Amino acid sequence: MFDAAFLVRRQAPGLLLSGACYAGGLFVGLAVSAFLLVQAGVPAGALVDEFLVATFLTSDGLSQTLTAALPLVLVGLASAVAMRVRFWNIGIEGQLWLGAVAATWVALGGIGPEPLRLPLMLVLGAVVGAAWIALPLWLKLKWGVNEVISTLLLGSIAFLLVQHLLFGVWRDPATNFPVTAAFPEASRFAATGWGQLHYGFLLVGAVTAALWYLLDYTRVGFYADAVGHNIKTARAAGLPVGATITGLVLLSGALSGLAGVTIIAGTEHRLSQVVGNGYLFSAIVVAYLARAKPVWVLVVALALGAVFTAGNVLKVFYSISEGMIVLVQGTVLISILMAQFFSTYALSRPS
């Protein structure tokens, strides 16, 4: 049937068309996800309850959703700022792990005066995260080494380092499990008292606002768009191409590192082998669906936080596996991406 069909790029897809495509994609994605979950044993009637009511409409659920969303916002932003200059940061988990390791070192070692302990963890985590992406960045700028491979592999190295520490010097002396001892109070974000939510939300809010301003209201966003869309023209026009790429990519690493600190100082209060898992995939999902725009990153991360919250409930009550939750994310992502594709291209068949 598609023996002779062509994809024709639409000239200027209107707001209505892209909106409709986006909504259509979301609907299909949710429908397929619902079908999958029902097949896996979740009663259809419980879906709305778990995914909407228990995530946004109850006080407990909402605080859960917000708490889960905090690191998602940070990794989503990390992916988004690099994406703006067409740098595919596939090493987000690696930078996140190293940020967490740096913060753990400060927390366990009691480095610095107590009032400055948490700020020091945050700063050091960000710096180390940025340092971990500096190598792939340098390799790319200097030799054209593909960053997809280099960041991904450095991610694995970071995880091995974490394991090395957890099975070695940082093993919990009390239980002998490969997790660190619990952090002292000074190394934690204070609890707000509303569910699990901690004051890290102020930090995440401030970071999002700052990035939103940076990318929308200063030249940085302007340079980034020119560099991202047409690097040759940006060069010829005399824009600071190298500085723009370097700045935003390092920022991406720093945000990932910060996400690592936020997780262990906010909710886990210790470093373990599971705190950073799955964030790479979520980061890409969030940044893609948000089209690399900070404000939309916030929105999408909240939605994804809800999926995680609901997922946790489903895991407990209906013994749904972790993989199902990833599958739901993936299904929604793929269907929206397909919808985006058809808002950009029209299918035409010659008569």
Partner 1 sequence: MIDTLHQSGGRGTLFPGTPPALDLRGIDKAFDGKPALVDASFSLEWGEVHAIVGENGAGKSTLMNVAAGVYAADGGEQTIDGKARSPRSPMEATAAGLGMVHQHFRLVQSFTVSENILLSLGRDSRIRTPAQAAAAIAAKAAEVGLPVDPARVVADLSTAERQRVEIVRVLLLGARILILDEPTAVLSEEEAKMLLSFVRRLARQGHAVVLITHKFREVAGFCDRITIMRHGKTVMAGAPVADIDEGEVARLMVGEALAVSERPLSSPGAVNLSVSGLTQKPDRFGQGLNALNFELHAGEVLGIAGVGGNGQEELVACLTGLSRQDQGSIRLGGRDLSRASPYDRRKAGLRIIPSDRFETGLVRELSIAENLALTQVAKGNFGGTFFLNRKGMRHAATAAIQSFDIRGASPERAAALLSGGNAQKVLLARELDAGMKVLVAHSPSRGLDMKATLFVRNAIKQAVEGGAACLLISEDLNEVLSLSHRVAVMNRGSIAGCRAIGDVTPEWIGALLAGHV
- Sites of contact with partner 1 (CB under 8 A): 11-12, 217-219, 221-223, 225-226, 229-230, 232-240
Could you tell me how many residues make up the chain? 351
* CA atoms of 279 and 158, how far apart (whole Å): 14
Cβ of residue 344: shortest distance to partner 1, in angstroms? 12
DSSP 57: I
SS3 per-residue string spanning 139-204: HHHHHCCCHHHHHHHHHHHHHHHHHHHHCCCCCCCCCCCCCCCCCCHHHCCCECCCCCCECHHHHH
Nearer to partner 1, 221 or 276 (CB): 221
Nearer to partner 1, 92 or 234 (CB): 234
Cβ of residue 52: shortest distance to partner 1, in angstroms? 36
Nearer to partner 1, 224 or 255 (CB): 224
- Which tokens belong to 259? 């996400």
Cβ of residue 233: shortest distance to partner 1, in angstroms? 5
Write down the residue that tokens 């950073």 correspond to: 276
Nearer to partner 1, 246 or 277 (CB): 246
Cβ of residue 117: shortest distance to partner 1, in angstroms? 31
Write down the residue that tokens 């946004």 correspond to: 56
Nearer to partner 1, 172 or 225 (CB): 225
Contact, 157 vs 95, CB < 8 A? Answer: no
* CA atoms of 26 and 20, how far apart (whole Å): 10
Nearer to partner 1, 73 or 214 (CB): 214
Cβ of residue 178: shortest distance to partner 1, in angstroms? 45
* CA atoms of 77 and 62, how far apart (whole Å): 22
Nearer to partner 1, 239 or 298 (CB): 239
State the CB neighbour count (10 A cutoff) for residue 128: 24
Q: Letter for the amino acid at 53?
A: V
Cβ of residue 216: shortest distance to partner 1, in angstroms? 8
* CA atoms of 139 and 117, how far apart (whole Å): 34
Cβ of residue 254: shortest distance to partner 1, in angstroms? 20
Nearer to partner 1, 73 or 290 (CB): 290
- To the nearest 10°, the Cα dihedral for 14, 16, 19, 21? -80
The conformational region for residue 144 under phi > 0 = left, psi -120 to 50 = alpha, else beta, is left
* CA atoms of 179 and 322, how far apart (whole Å): 21
Pick from 70, 83, 81: which is nearest to 220 by CA? 81
* CA atoms of 279 and 250, how far apart (whole Å): 18
Cβ of residue 87: shortest distance to partner 1, in angstroms? 17
- Which residues lie across from 141 on neighbouring strands? none
Nearer to partner 1, 85 or 154 (CB): 85
Cβ of residue 146: shortest distance to partner 1, in angstroms? 16
